[in-house]
Amino acid sequence: MTEINDFKEWDRQLIEAFRANGGNVGGQFAGVPLLLLTTTGAKSGQQRISPLVYLPEGDHIYVFAGNRGAPTNPHWYHNLVAHPDVTVEVGTEKFEARATVVESTEWDRLGRIQLQRLPGLAELQAKITRKVPVVLLERKK
């Protein structure tokens, strides 16, 4: 089994656990804010679901395109840049949202907050040699 397939299986199991437990997932994600992001494939047009750690800040939800420390941005990031209308699942709630890439000045502040809240991400962050895009997911009215 290739690494990509391992990640796909990992994500599939995480999505199943998320939905079966109202967004509460155990193991290494116990107590970590996790959401499911559904994007439209940039090339395929197919719906893709990605489990992501997020940063809640007031009414805002931010996700970070860390891609497990890979040197490239994740597929979900390319998808939402091409098609910024997304679906978000947080807990048992599901809603439509608009994705906007955050400007670099705000990125620094949000990155510091996320690393303070989830210090385990520091090891992953140290592996990344690129600037990790931050995306705001704004609920549609």
Q: Tell me: the pLDDT tens digits for 75-113?
A: 999 999 999 999 999 999 999 999 999 877 776 777 777
Instruction: Provide the whole-model pTM.
Output: 0.83
User: What DSSP letter does each residue of the chain carry, written as one string?
Assistant: --HHHHHHHHHHHHHHHHHHTTT---GGGTTS-EEEEEEE-TTT--EEEEEEEEEEETTEEEEE--GGG-SS--HHHHHHHH--EEEEEETTEEEEEEEEEPPHHHHHHHHHHHHHH-TTHHHHHHH--SPPPEEEEEEP-
Higher pLDDT, residue 7 or 38: 38
Tens of pLDDT, residue by residue over 32-81, are: 889 999 999 999 999 999 999 899 988 899 998 877 777 788 999 999 99
* Domains by residue range for the chain, with CATH: 3-139 (2.30.110.10)
